[in-house]
Amino acid sequence: MNGPTHHDSHAGDGTSYRPGRLTRTAWGKDGAGGILVERQEALDFMLENVRNSNLRKHILAVEAVMRGLGGRLGEDEEKWGLAGLLHDIDYETTKDSPDRHSLVGAEMLEAKGLAPEIVEAVRAHNEHHGLPRLTLMAKALHAADPLTGLIVAAALISPAKKLSAIDAKFVLNRFGEKAFAKGARREPMSAAKAELGLELDELIGLGLEAMQGISGDLGL
């Protein structure tokens, strides 16, 4: 996670969220020495470690965006969704120690035997460490994390305070306002063209659509 805009809104715990059907991803070894767990198992693990309701919603939003990005880029939506669902697994224990956030989380996931690609994406998403993002998944997580905060902040300034009340153009205009949602860092989103092959408006549109799909669980 990158800033306070990710979990300074709404209430509820988001535990009812189910993106479509619960498809099984436990195929044993993933070919790179790790395992792919069922989403339900990953969700339970997240809920055990994350108690803050707004942080849970941020995590679910990032999961939805990562699934959307995975589908758009021809990657494994389930696997990418797991990276989003588990990316802030250590946040409540490391929030006062930015030098530990994501490193502890990666260790937790590694101990669970998660696929190395997921572990490394989680490890690298905290810019404090300056770690290289070597995979497409890691680059996508880097952009998806602050994008969700920008979209939530944009929805909250609409009269209806609903995701359905805004469109990608509205969010894009807010992106250009430097004083708006400062915690949602613009650089990772701007890098989407070079790192993901997506124009900024495409990234925002995809992210907004993904989050609108789970608006009830996000309280928006």
The domains found in the chain, sorted by start residue, are: 23-127+135-218 (1.10.3210)
- pLDDT at position 128, please? 84
Separation between Cα atoms, residue 170 and residue 174, nearest integer Å: 6
Separation between Cα atoms, residue 45 and residue 21, nearest integer Å: 19
CB atoms within 10 A of CB 213: 16
Q: pLDDT tens track of the chain, all 220 residues?
A: 643 334 333 333 444 434 433 333 433 344 455 666 789 999 999 999 999 999 999 999 999 999 999 999 999 999 999 999 999 999 999 999 999 999 999 999 999 999 999 999 999 999 888 899 999 999 999 999 999 999 999 999 999 999 999 999 999 999 999 999 999 999 999 999 999 999 999 999 999 999 999 999 999 9
**pTM for the model:** 0.86
Contact criterion met (CB below 8 Å) for 124 and 138: yes
Contact criterion met (CB below 8 Å) for 140 and 146: no
Separation between Cα atoms, residue 220 and residue 204, nearest integer Å: 17
Q: Which residues touch 99 (CB under 8 Å, ≥6 apart)?
A: 128, 129
5, with CB counted inside 10 A (0-12, 13-18, 19+), is: buried
